[in-house]
């Protein structure tokens, strides 16, 4: 068989192998993305065609106080969750990594179990535990504040408590990533450092932290993207209230699209959120990479 015929066969085989992915990617990602971009420049309803309005939807966003409120709530939630959940996951991973055998497997199972629960179950569990009258955690809140607090109806408590629920729910995945990073660090490095008289803190700061930094940067970036897309927990626990204190960008997009039938304006909100996520996540990842090189 000639070289040309062999290359043609290899090319056909390669096309057949990647064709399913390309088709699925084009149908379920590229085409919807194109439609969202196109709709954002129209006054179309959720279903149907609309008239071209250019940048009118984006101009309207600049004067939409509710949009800026929801964007601030998103950023506030990021501050409440991204770094705390990473620190907690790191502490858990360091603790679990010292266990062996069945104890380690049991600990990993217990920490990962909440992650596999659907959001409806998670919010139901926490709604029951934090119920104003019968919640099993209300005595703890009363010990701190002196009175029971309807946390999901209180403007000062609502976002921090949703952050607590989110950290409890999603942190198992971060623990697994960090455990995998810890297992990639050679035990010989710790043995050599111990022979040189290094303290546990020195071993962590000089060995564990630098070698675990790439995984930590990945966890921080994934958490940033995930928390900027906040919707489910807020919708089920507080529905954006009280007084819009937990109203987030995806809730406004949902309201404009599915309740007010403003498909074009909702698409513009989606595009702005997409750009915010891309810009912020890329900047964070680059800053983390620079910090890891120092």
Quote the pLDDT of residue 49. 83
pTM of the model: 0.88
Non-local CB neighbours of 191 within 8 Å, separated by 6+ positions: none
Mean pLDDT of 126-142: 90
Q: Using CA atoms, how far apart are residues 128 and 134, in angstroms rounded to an integer?
A: 8
> What SS3 class is residue 157?
coil
The predicted model gives 30-46 an average pLDDT of 91
The pLDDT tens digits of the residues spanning 76-99 come to 999 999 999 999 999 999 999 888
What per-residue confidence (pLDDT) applies to 75? 93
**What is residue 1's predicted lDDT score, i.e. its pLDDT?**
56
Q: State residue 197's pLDDT score.
A: 83
3-state secondary structure of 221: helix
pLDDT value at position 294?
57
Task: Compute the average pLDDT of residues 102-114.
Answer: 88
Calpha distance 132→137 (Å, rounded): 9
Higher pLDDT, 132 or 161: 161
Please name every residue paired with 52 in a beta bridge, in sequence order, or none if there are none.
42
Query: What's the rounded Cα separation, in Å, for the pair 246 and 243?
Result: 8
Q: Give the largest Cα separation in the chain, rounded.
A: 85
Q: How far is CA 268 from CA 31, 254, 263, in A?
A: 16, 12, 9
- Angle between the 158-183 and 209-228 helix axes, to the nearest 10 degrees? 140
Q: Rounded distance, CA 157 to CA 142, Å?
A: 13
Q: Please spell the DSSP secondary structure of 117-137, one letter per residue.
A: S-HHHHHHHHHHHT-TTT-TT
Name which residue leads in pLDDT, 4 or 190: 190
Secondary structure element (H or E) that encloses residue 6, with its range: helix 3-25
**Mean residue pLDDT across the chain:** 90
Judged against a pLDDT cut of 80, whether residue 285 lies above it is answered with: no
Give the separation between CA 51 and CA 37, rounded to whole angstroms: 14
pLDDT in tens, 221-246: 889 999 999 999 999 999 998 999 99
Closest CA to 55 of 67, 65, 42: 42
What confidence tens digit (pLDDT) does each residue in 191-226 have? Answer: 888 888 888 888 888 888 888 988 998 899 889 999
Q: How far apart are CA 145 and CA 138, in angstroms?
A: 10
Q: pLDDT tens across 109-124, in order?
A: 888 999 999 999 999 9
What is the pLDDT at residue 257? 92
Residue-range domains of the chain with CATH: 64-293 (1.10.3720.10)
Task: Look up residue 206 and give its DSSP letter.
Answer: I
């Amino acid at each position: 068989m000639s070289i040309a015929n062999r290359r043609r066969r290899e090319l056909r085989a390669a096309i057949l192998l990647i064709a399913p992915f390309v088709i699925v990617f084009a149908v379920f990602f590229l085409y919807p993305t194109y439609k969202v971009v196109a709709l954002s420049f129209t006054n179309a309803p959720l279903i149907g065609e609309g008239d071209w309005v250019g940048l009118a939807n984006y101009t309207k966003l600049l004067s939409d106080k509710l949009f800026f409120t929801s964007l601030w709530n998103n950023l506030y939630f990021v501050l409440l969750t991204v770094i705390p959940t990473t620190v907690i996951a790191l502490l858990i991973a360091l603790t679990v990594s010292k266990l062996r055998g069945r104890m380690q497997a049991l600990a990993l199972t217990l920490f990962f179990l909440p992650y596999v629960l659907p959001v409806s179950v998670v919010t139901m569990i926490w709604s029951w535990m934090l119920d104003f009258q019968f919640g099993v955690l209300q005595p703890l809140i009363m010990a701190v504040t002196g009175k029971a607090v309807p946390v999901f109806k209180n403007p000062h408590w609502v976002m921090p408590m949703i952050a607590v629920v989110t950290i409890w729910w999603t942190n198992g995945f971060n623990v697994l990533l960090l455990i995998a990073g810890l297992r990639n660090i050679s035990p010989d490095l710790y043995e050599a450092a111990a022979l040189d008289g290094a303290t546990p803190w020195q071993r962590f700061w000089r060995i564990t932290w630098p070698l675990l930094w790439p995984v930590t940067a990945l966890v921080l970036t994934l958490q940033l993207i995930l928390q900027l897309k906040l919707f489910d927990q807020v919708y089920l626990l507080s529905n954006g209230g009280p007084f819009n204190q937990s109203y987030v960008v995806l809730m406004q997009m949902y309201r404009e699209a599915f309740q007010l039938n403003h498909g074009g304006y909702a698409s513009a909100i989606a595009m702005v959120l997409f750009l915010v996520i891309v810009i912020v996540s890329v900047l964070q990842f680059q800053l983390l990479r620079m910090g890891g090189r120092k």
